[in-house]
Structure 1
């Protein structure tokens, strides 16, 4: 049965649905109309109704179909747009930040009050610049401050402490200001006490010393809090003195010079290891042979060319020379040597016969006795034209150039004692010989070399045995024996130190205990040991090592992990880090430091927000000093956009004067400045240069050293030691030059991830930049005058990069008087 729409008008409803009487009447009238051939109303109505019904049905079906399709499509699109559900299930992100997302409550009103107080309490010439105020008021969790030479960073850092303590109510025991050396720490403490006094607050010396620390003095209490280490001593500060203050011994823990107490421990460990470890004994043998063996000399060396002409004459007198030399050694009680068989062996040099004095079976090497330097240099054989010393020098040169057999040449009676100890296996006094690792400038006692190499590796955050296991050396390279021996010795030495009473540990081992690789150790620390690291301010940050950076990151991570419970009832909450540095003054790469951590500060110390400040005003030097120093260092990799300007009233600029090495001329100029009342710094690269100069300026040295310390105006030191100092006139003696290549340091640099990707010599590359930075440090010590005395080309290593190569020709800030430059 078909369905009809209820919306049809009544007159169009089908007859079947009409009342019965109406249906009957409709039929009657319909038949009549049909007969009259008039309209058949019923048919018309039926047709109209059927047409409407069929059209409506068709339209309804079509419209419904189209509408339904369109509606479904629109509905599907709306559903797709609104349904953002993903079929994937990613995990939550990891919060790897070291700091909470917070800000110091430094309001505009507070800034105004602090500035007014500073203006009232500090002299006009000590008022902070706008950049310095930015550093003082930084409210972000991290702040990096690029502070060039003479930027006045110390006073600014003190005012930062004043802000945190006096105005924000932070407790002093929630902060640490880190300096690198004992001298810089002492200066900062004095300035801190003086500035706080201007605010009417008395800071005791103990409070100031607890606040201003070196990294090492902050670390030591952490380790001493561990069970069994309450009386732990640091190897670097080990001394026979009793009652030494750990804080006062923190001169420069990186610059380790072995003292008697330290050497005693080194020798004792060496003796025990030598006795029990067969492999260690096997490794020492080739090292001692290499160390004692006569070093080869190129045949085109001038000394060889000069002496090769008298080879035959030297051979004719050689047996008599051997007799005379042996007599001297015998009378000195240095010959014969136990373990060396007195035995003359013939050597042929260019067809001529020469003799040696003995043979060591244990070393499988022939032994030659030399002329002890303490003997009278004028001694000679009867009737001889040359002295014994001169005859011996000719023979030595010929053997260096033309003999390729293993040959031990003992230059002194002292050498014989050390060799005798070594051959006898009595290692209680140490190995008894010096060694030079490739890349080092000079040889040193073997155990000193061990300490130096291990320190460098550990400063880079590496474990010595692990690093050695990844090294690679040529088959005939004695350094491969050195580093295998170092690996065995260093592990044994660390154990030996811990066995002492009280126990002893190196600082690098302490840092490793609380590095990112040992987070579980932090759980053993009390809050009182970590709280001082909550608000950490570090000066000279460009000189940090990877080992220290790892300790800082791990400490800050633990401070954040402990959260609000660590700060209950305290004014100082959460944590912050402010680092001040100058990558152009990074000059300690040779001990494992790197400016890369400061240059990549944001990456090293991830934070929700950081403030970057650049202090470009120089309050020390005039513009020519600044420009000359920056011109030298400009090609070194550095933070971009650095350009300092002299602050204050313009001064008459004196160009940096560059001269050929002239010790007498330097002395005359230095004396002139001293008479004029100037303060003077004389900086040198080698200690031998200092000795040479003191002969020329001895009168001034004597006068100045007789004065009370505050009145002294002459200081002599190395370039490295001059960091942080200044003088009216600075005298630079010697060039800054990268002289060697260091295969082992290049390898461990790559292991530590330092240097550019693909650089196979990253350490040497870094050192080429560092010599430029060293010259920058030297020049920027000057307030008014700087004189640079450079060695002649003949006195310098060929093709070795040097800072003086960067002196700008024709630049107004350089006055180049060197003859070689015209």
Structure 2
């Protein structure tokens, strides 16, 4: 903008040439009078008046105009500059992604003071809440994350929280739900809830408590039953259970346990039969899986077992025909031989120049069949005049065939597997596939349909659809797992249709959760307020074990509750919604079923909220300090919530210190130590990893168990449990049998972890990485069951076991909390 000179004054601002005539006349008369009096000089006055008036007026107008124009120009220039800097982008409101309204629990200082006084009066001194526990109880934000380590007293705190909401704030019980993961924890919580409410003389019957304290499964079933046509729906997981009509909604199902019963197997087998007849591709896949599953797996000729037995190849061949006779006689006596579909024969195969015999071959195929030594037979059984047992001779033959036989060979290990194969070969599809299959990464083979259930359950727990997930998997050429997952996708789709076609219809729990997850929010809008209201104020225990599937359902439900707003709570005290999650990421041990601690570690990202309360409960009221320190050292290095360091509190702080003692495996010594602690009147937990270990334990403490069996259940002081099933329990002394190791690798689960978004960036083995961390957490769970003493017996690692992730390898003998007595 240029700076121009101002123009001449506008015409309307120019002074007039003369005054009006009347004023001129008055001025002349006045001027003459003044002139006579010599008071003025007329001509000078006239000249000054006329010229001064004109020039003054002109100068004033000019100065004012220029000053005004300059100020106006500056003001105008500033306005133009501001307008030039303004963003021209259209204004669009932001998106509120919070799952909760911005509200606070109405807790006044007087109410808190009154509640604390009541608690001090009604509960014993040993049960008074700590500062951290009061923070949990009085949390007033929409979301609360409570990190509660082992023995932190979280259950009592949750009970007092419910009492506060119900009795002091007037919240309706049908607006609340407490979720636990296991039957035992649910029973314990219900009992404690009834007891504490009774101290306040507030009605809380066991039936009311059972309605309030639920499992996730018992909350989802009524939602599905409310949909048109599904009022009588049953859960597949409860088929075969003798439950009264309508009681399935309260069934105390365990989230991570699905052992198939006869009714479930029958439904699966019928679906298998129909699909086998309808789908040529499925039949082709099953045939290839059967052949692969039954073939004897090859063994490296350089394997130590092979090198040890190859030296007796000639001797083994000389006695082989007699061995075949003995084995065949045992099978015949058991009614397991001959097998329809297998042609008996005594063909021979060449092993290092020596001839070994088979028992038969599959009808119409170039596949040989060898009968094995059934494990139910006596291990000491011998041929007449033989130095070795039949079992030992059989083991030598099997090893040699694995290492050197180049023909397709089926080895039948036991009578039961042979009977299943016989039914399958005879076309009795209603009996099921009749063979076991082992997916890479699994520890053991399982019947094919059981393997389908396990794989589909893992996929769905990750929040994935089975068909879509399988389509996204990839396998190397010739990998038989590709056939397994293709067959799984075909079967699972048919199986879901088969279940819905039953009368009444049936559905898996995973399918129910998916129906009301974030991918199907429209289904939640079909639900009446009465079904959503109990989900308004959620308190979730053991949240570290939650799966992506459950998280999706919770998020979708909370979003729908917020969307409905006041229509859900009109006329009621309990308004809005809240979420309180309690857990310990160090106790997350169900990753093998699809759970993940990531949602608990990243709680505020998982459940966005206008405000969040975080509570760290570091007091441990169970264990003496050395137990705590040893357990925490074992999980050091695993991803975890920061800031945790537990300390023995209350009566536990007064217990004498005793280091966690680590020994090499010795069952007899362990049995004697168990007896010593039992005689001292202590409660005992014996934890094991494998069922075979349990058998050995039973032998070493047989006499103690006889004494225990004669006592009432409530007085028994010895319990034998797996590491996983001991969670939530405690005992004076804990015996841990076996190391915690990740023994395998799982290519397909690594891929599924990436699809579910659980793998860390750049980690192609996300699931394997998570499992390496989980073995540390499993050891933490085992150690923290102990109150006073913990003994850990581990095998000396050999071969490949030396390189596998191991919790026992993290024991540090330099620390006072460990006493490592291994060689």
Taking the aligned partners of 1:641 and 1:721, their CA distance within structure 2 comes to: 28
Taking the aligned partners of 1:43 and 1:242, their CA distance within structure 2 comes to: 128
TM-score, normalised on structure 2? Answer: 0.91
SS at match of 1:798: helix
Change (3 A) 1:65 1:627: same
Shift of 1:658: 1.2
Shift of 1:86: 3.7
SS at match of 2:798: helix
What is aligned with 1:33? none
Taking the aligned partners of 2:583 and 2:671, their CA distance within structure 1 comes to: 35
Taking the aligned partners of 1:379 and 1:765, their CA distance within structure 2 comes to: 46
Taking the aligned partners of 2:388 and 2:199, their CA distance within structure 1 comes to: 76
What is aligned with 1:774? 778
Shift of 1:56: 9.5
Change (3 A) 1:136 1:89: same
Shift of 1:61: 6.4
What is aligned with 1:194? 195
Deviations 1:195-220 (A, max 9, x none): 01111112112111111111111111
Taking the aligned partners of 1:2 and 1:758, their CA distance within structure 2 comes to: 79
What is aligned with 1:756? 760
**Does the CA contact (< 8 Å) of 2:348 and 2:357 recur in 1?**
yes
Change (3 A) 1:128 1:240: closer
Taking the aligned partners of 2:420 and 2:116, their CA distance within structure 1 comes to: 68
What is aligned with 1:442? 444
Taking the aligned partners of 1:637 and 1:356, their CA distance within structure 2 comes to: 53
What is aligned with 1:690? 694
Taking the aligned partners of 2:662 and 2:326, their CA distance within structure 1 comes to: 51
**Does the CA contact (< 8 Å) of 2:347 and 2:359 recur in 1?**
yes
Q: Does 1:460 align with 2:465?
A: no
Which stretch shows the higher mean deviation, 426-435 or 339-348?
Answer: 339-348
Q: Does 1:813 align with 2:814?
A: no
Taking the aligned partners of 2:122 and 2:327, their CA distance within structure 1 comes to: 77
Deviations 1:207-242 (A, max 9, x none): 111111111111111112222222211111211535
Shift of 1:713: 1.3
**Does the CA contact (< 8 Å) of 2:215 and 2:253 recur in 1?**
no
Matched ranges for 1:495-574 at <5 A: 495-574=497-576
Taking the aligned partners of 1:173 and 1:644, their CA distance within structure 2 comes to: 36
Change (3 A) 1:380 1:718: closer
Q: Which runs of 5 or more structure 1 residues have no equivalent in the other structure?
A: 26-40
What is aligned with 1:29? none
Taking the aligned partners of 1:438 and 1:596, their CA distance within structure 2 comes to: 25
Shift of 1:464: 0.5
Shift of 1:330: 5.4
Change (3 A) 1:689 1:319: closer
**Does the CA contact (< 8 Å) of 2:175 and 2:537 recur in 1?**
yes
SS at match of 1:612: strand
Taking the aligned partners of 2:130 and 2:582, their CA distance within structure 1 comes to: 16
Taking the aligned partners of 1:331 and 1:181, their CA distance within structure 2 comes to: 45
SS at match of 1:717: strand
What is aligned with 1:420? 422
Taking the aligned partners of 2:348 and 2:198, their CA distance within structure 1 comes to: 82
User: Which of residues 716, 723, 735 in structure 2 aligns to 1:719?
Assistant: 723
Taking the aligned partners of 2:714 and 2:329, their CA distance within structure 1 comes to: 57
Shift of 1:310: 2.8
Shift of 1:110: 0.5
What is aligned with 2:738? 734
Taking the aligned partners of 1:723 and 1:144, their CA distance within structure 2 comes to: 21
What is aligned with 2:706? 702
What is aligned with 1:149? 150
Taking the aligned partners of 2:471 and 2:11, their CA distance within structure 1 comes to: 96
Taking the aligned partners of 2:388 and 2:676, their CA distance within structure 1 comes to: 46
Taking the aligned partners of 1:304 and 1:745, their CA distance within structure 2 comes to: 32
**Does the CA contact (< 8 Å) of 2:349 and 2:356 recur in 1?**
yes
SS at match of 1:659: strand
Taking the aligned partners of 1:691 and 1:404, their CA distance within structure 2 comes to: 38
**Does the CA contact (< 8 Å) of 2:367 and 2:410 recur in 1?**
yes
Matched ranges for 1:381-400 at <5 A: 389-400=391-402
What is aligned with 2:789? 785
Matched ranges for 1:605-624 at <5 A: 605-624=607-626
The alignment yields a C-alpha RMSD, in angstroms, of 3.3
Change (3 A) 1:55 1:344: farther
Taking the aligned partners of 2:383 and 2:620, their CA distance within structure 1 comes to: 67
Which stretch shows the higher mean deviation, 342-351 or 537-546?
Answer: 342-351
Taking the aligned partners of 2:714 and 2:380, their CA distance within structure 1 comes to: 49
Deviations 1:86-129 (A, max 9, x none): 42114222222111111111011110000000000000010111
User: Which of residues 651, 664, 670 in structure 2 aligns to 1:666?
Assistant: 670
Change (3 A) 1:208 1:374: closer
Taking the aligned partners of 1:365 and 1:714, their CA distance within structure 2 comes to: 51
Matched ranges for 1:237-316 at <5 A: 237-239=238-240, 241=242, 243=244, 245-246=247-248, 249-316=251-318
Which stretch shows the higher mean deviation, 796-805 or 718-727?
Answer: 796-805
Deviations 1:346-375 (A, max 9, x none): 433333344434332566422223344556
User: Which of residues 765, 769, 778 in structure 2 aligns to 1:765?
Assistant: 769
SS at match of 2:654: coil
Q: Which runs of 5 or more structure 2 residues have no equivalent in the other structure?
A: 1-7, 32-41
Taking the aligned partners of 1:519 and 1:203, their CA distance within structure 2 comes to: 34
Taking the aligned partners of 1:337 and 1:57, their CA distance within structure 2 comes to: 130
SS at match of 1:177: strand
Q: Does 1:110 align with 2:96?
A: no
Deviations 1:767-802 (A, max 9, x none): 111111111111111111111112112387231111
SS at match of 2:803: coil
Which stretch shows the higher mean deviation, 72-81 or 660-669?
Answer: 72-81
Taking the aligned partners of 2:622 and 2:398, their CA distance within structure 1 comes to: 54
TM-score, normalised on structure 1? Answer: 0.91
SS at match of 2:274: helix
Matched ranges for 1:65-214 at <5 A: 68-69=69-70, 71-78=72-79, 80-81=81-82, 86-214=87-215
Shift of 1:727: 1.0
Change (3 A) 1:380 1:176: closer
SS at match of 2:575: coil
Change (3 A) 1:777 1:415: closer
**Does the CA contact (< 8 Å) of 2:268 and 2:495 recur in 1?**
yes
Which stretch shows the higher mean deviation, 155-164 or 253-262?
Answer: 253-262
What is aligned with 1:675? 679
**Does the CA contact (< 8 Å) of 1:731 and 1:786 recur in 2?**
yes
Taking the aligned partners of 1:631 and 1:288, their CA distance within structure 2 comes to: 46
Shift of 1:339: 2.9
**Does the CA contact (< 8 Å) of 2:181 and 2:255 recur in 1?**
no
Give the number of equivalent residue pairs: 804
Change (3 A) 1:43 1:602: same
**Does the CA contact (< 8 Å) of 1:289 and 1:363 recur in 2?**
no
SS at match of 1:524: coil
